[in-house]
């Protein structure tokens, strides 16, 4: 899996470097890293959810569509979220529970795009003894165009 080269898959490593709920400052930008989206990464993501539309795989077909070439499925931000954040990011804290997400899509990501992320916690709160954080994320392509923007709610490990 070329996608995982250099990616630390043991989320327990660096766990002590990550912010806990108490440390998270809503509004403070998170450290992010640019990521070059490859055709292989798109195809692996497609395989994991059974995406089989030719717009993701068949260059000749894709050229004849309104998109004019291959694109990634909109939900590729699932991969981008981890690909664009460093190992000490608190998204990777073991036991982080995803409570819900909302995403708006502007233009598709494409193979070869160099994607950047602007991310922060927007809010944090306690409800029924659970520690929540509201995530605010925007992905851009190399031209500075918004690909998609999303809000997520996670329950932080205690």
Which residues of the shown chain bind other proteins in the complex (CB under 8 A)? 1, 3-4, 7, 9-12, 44-45, 47-51, 53, 55, 66, 73-75, 78-79, 81-83, 92, 94-105, 128-130, 155, 157-158
Sign of CA dihedral 86, 51, 150, 19: negative
Compute the least distance from the CB of residue 147 to other proteins, in Å.
Answer: 13
User: How far is the C-alpha of 117 from the C-alpha of 33, rounded, in Å?
Assistant: 7
What are the CA-CA distances from residue 104 to residues 14, 137, 138, 150, 154 (Å)?
A: 32, 11, 10, 6, 18
Compute the least distance from the CB of residue 146 to other proteins, in Å.
Answer: 13
- Tell me 91's DSSP state: G
Compute the least distance from the CB of residue 134 to other proteins, in Å.
Answer: 13
User: How far is the C-alpha of 78 from the C-alpha of 104, rounded, in Å?
Assistant: 13
Compute the least distance from the CB of residue 149 to other proteins, in Å.
Answer: 10
* Burial label, 157 (beta-carbon count in 10 A; 0-12, 13-18, 19+): middle
């Amino acid at each position: 899996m070329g996608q995982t080269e250099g990616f630390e898959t043991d989320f327990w490593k660096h766990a002590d470097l990550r912010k806990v709920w108490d440390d998270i400052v809503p509004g403070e930008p998170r450290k992010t890293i640019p990521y070059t989206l490859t055709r292989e990464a798109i195809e692996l993501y497609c395989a994991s959810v059974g995406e089989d539309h030719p717009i993701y795989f068949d260059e000749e077909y894709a050229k004849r569509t309104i998109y004019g070439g291959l694109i990634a499925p909109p939900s590729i931000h699932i991969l981008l979220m981890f690909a664009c954040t460093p190992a000490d990011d608190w998204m990777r804290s073991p036991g982080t529970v995803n409570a819900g997400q909302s995403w708006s899509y502007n233009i598709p990501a494409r193979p070869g795009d160099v994607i950047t992320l602007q991310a922060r916690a927007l809010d944090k709160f306690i409800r029924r003894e659970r520690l929540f954080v509201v995530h605010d994320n925007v992905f851009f392509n190399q031209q500075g165009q918004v690909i998609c923007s999303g809000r997520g709610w996670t329950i932080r490990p205690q």
